[in-house]
Amino acid sequence: MYAILDIETTGGKFNEEGITEIAIHKFDGHKVVDKFISLVNPEKDIQPFVVNLTGINNKMLRTAPKFHEVAKRIVEITDSSVIVAHNAQFDYRILRTEFRRLGYNYERKTLCTVDLSKKLIPEAESHSLGKLVRSLGIPVSDRHRANGDALATLKLFKVLLSKDSDKTIVKDIIREKEHGELSDRQLDIVESLPSETGIYYMHDKDGEVLYLGKSSNIKKRVNQHFTNNGSRSRQLQKATKKVTFEKTGSELVALLKENEELRINRPRFNPKQPKTLFSHGVIVKTNSDGYLTLVAEKLKDSDEALTTFNSLAGAKNFIFKTTEELELCPKLNGISEAKKNCSDYDSGDCYGACIKKESIENYNKRVSAAVNKYSLDNKNIIIIDKGREVGEYSAVLIKNGTFKGFGFYDLNHQINNIHILESIIVPMKGDENTSHIIETYLRKRRVLKILELSN
């Protein structure tokens, strides 16, 4: 017996979503023998993008039954049945979370029609529900509503069953999915974690750190560790008895904290850390005419780079963007192989350094501006970003170009003096890897502000 299921939710943070609509069709392999369709009052607001997608709004749900009022019916209609859904891991997770809030351990076997269709129709261009049913000529209506999607899944499932006449693939898929479910202990762990940015530590029975990492959503990331199917992942799942965490608010702080913790703890399930987190860099060189040039190279120990990258392509891409941004010469920076002037000179985007028309002094000022913008060298700055709570900020201290540590302060605390700042900073080891982390983050992401500090 199968229970074809589709759930619509409020959207929101992982494991904090609420059910807004549910449809279940009990299917005996030939016909539907029972069904249950209902809106559900999630007791929380629906995310605007979900309203646009489904058409379900908060007003529609005010008089709808709450989950505890439909829970018994869901248990009954799915009893002794395999839950079938398109992306079953999502629907089953949502359902188990709702039951867990009621203190009930809801467990069923599951079968995912995404996985089943990949085995039985591998040639399909897409295995998303809408595109797959259209490609099979299955009529669909009321998409992104629970009953519309449940009926589409039911029709798709009938087609898939007909292609698997001896049901061996269906049985294999069901068995595979049983391995990916969380135990009660793992569910308790995941429920205790925040859906926020920070560091998490996975411990064994003696408290030893087996694995640590950073994530913008700690709850979601640990859940992924517990549901991964690789052999090493299963070893980690079996050994993990407790997960602790430290919220950072700022992703930059999380990256720096992760780097420090990996250096100190060296957990056995984390990959071995390389000596340096980067392999290539952009080096500022002076050519034979006295012009400063930007060169992408694989770094040697003696090289002093303007900024660092973990690939040659990344370094070259930086040169391309910086050349464009500061109107530098593509020929001097190795982008153009023109024999005389570069094409940017013809279009007015290069001032003629390639043919010595722009003075060395003026041109080198712009290259120096790039050095000042992207390098931490000799800087005394504080990088201000989000804190762990509302009304709190994070502060990352750079002194004489070296990372010194980070701290947190509240909204009313004035910090523009380096001596005041040092009193709230947790000291940490700064090196070429922390410089790489900070420079990379500042190139790609925005922070709230960067303050220059007085001595």
What is the pLDDT at residue 205? 93
Which 3 state secondary structure label does DSSP give 301?
Answer: coil
> Model confidence over 226-283: pLDDT tens digits?
988 788 998 999 999 999 999 999 999 999 999 999 999 999 999 988 888 899 999 9
Q: Which tokens in the block code for residue 72?
A: 């018994």
Nearest residue to 176 via CA among 111, 268, 272: 111
What is the pLDDT at residue 172? 78
pLDDT at residue 411 greater than cutoff 70: no
- Please give the span between the terminal C-alpha atoms of the chain, in angstroms, as a whole number: 74
Tell me how far apart the alpha carbons of residues 49 and 9 are, in angstroms, rounded to a whole number: 11
Nearest residue to 146 via CA among 86, 106, 96, 97: 86
**What mean pLDDT comes out for the span 339-363?**
86
Across the chain, what does the average pLDDT equal?
89
Given a contact cutoff of 8 angstroms between Cβ atoms, the answer to whether 163 and 121 are in contact is yes
- C-alpha triplet 17, 234, 13: angle, nearest 5°: 15
> Model confidence over 120-169: pLDDT tens digits?
999 988 999 989 998 898 888 888 899 999 999 999 999 998 888 777 78
> Model confidence over 370-379: pLDDT tens digits?
888 888 988 9
> Model confidence over 56-91: pLDDT tens digits?
999 999 999 999 999 999 999 999 999 999 999 899
Tell me how far apart the alpha carbons of residues 454 and 2 are, in angstroms, rounded to a whole number: 69
> Model confidence over 7-45: pLDDT tens digits?
999 988 777 899 999 999 999 989 999 999 999 999 999
pLDDT band at 218 (very low <50, low <70, confident <90, very high): very high
Q: Which range has the worst mean pLDDT, 82-86, 174-178, 179-183, 420-424? A: 174-178
What is the pLDDT at residue 416? 60
The residue count for the chain: 455
More confident residue, 98 or 345: 98
Which 3 state secondary structure label does DSSP give 174?
Answer: helix
CA-CA-CA-CA torsion for 208, 214, 216, 219, nearest 10 degrees?
Answer: -20
pLDDT band at 338 (very low <50, low <70, confident <90, very high): confident
Nearest residue to 371 via CA among 448, 414, 427, 318: 318
Given a contact cutoff of 8 angstroms between Cβ atoms, the answer to whether 64 and 46 are in contact is no
Nearest residue to 160 via CA among 130, 139, 131, 138: 138
Given a contact cutoff of 8 angstroms between Cβ atoms, the answer to whether 275 and 444 are in contact is no
Report the relative pairing of strands 82-85 and 110-112 from DSSP bridges: parallel
pLDDT at residue 455 greater than cutoff 70: no
> Model confidence over 267-304: pLDDT tens digits?
999 998 888 889 999 999 999 999 999 999 999 876 78
pLDDT band at 95 (very low <50, low <70, confident <90, very high): very high
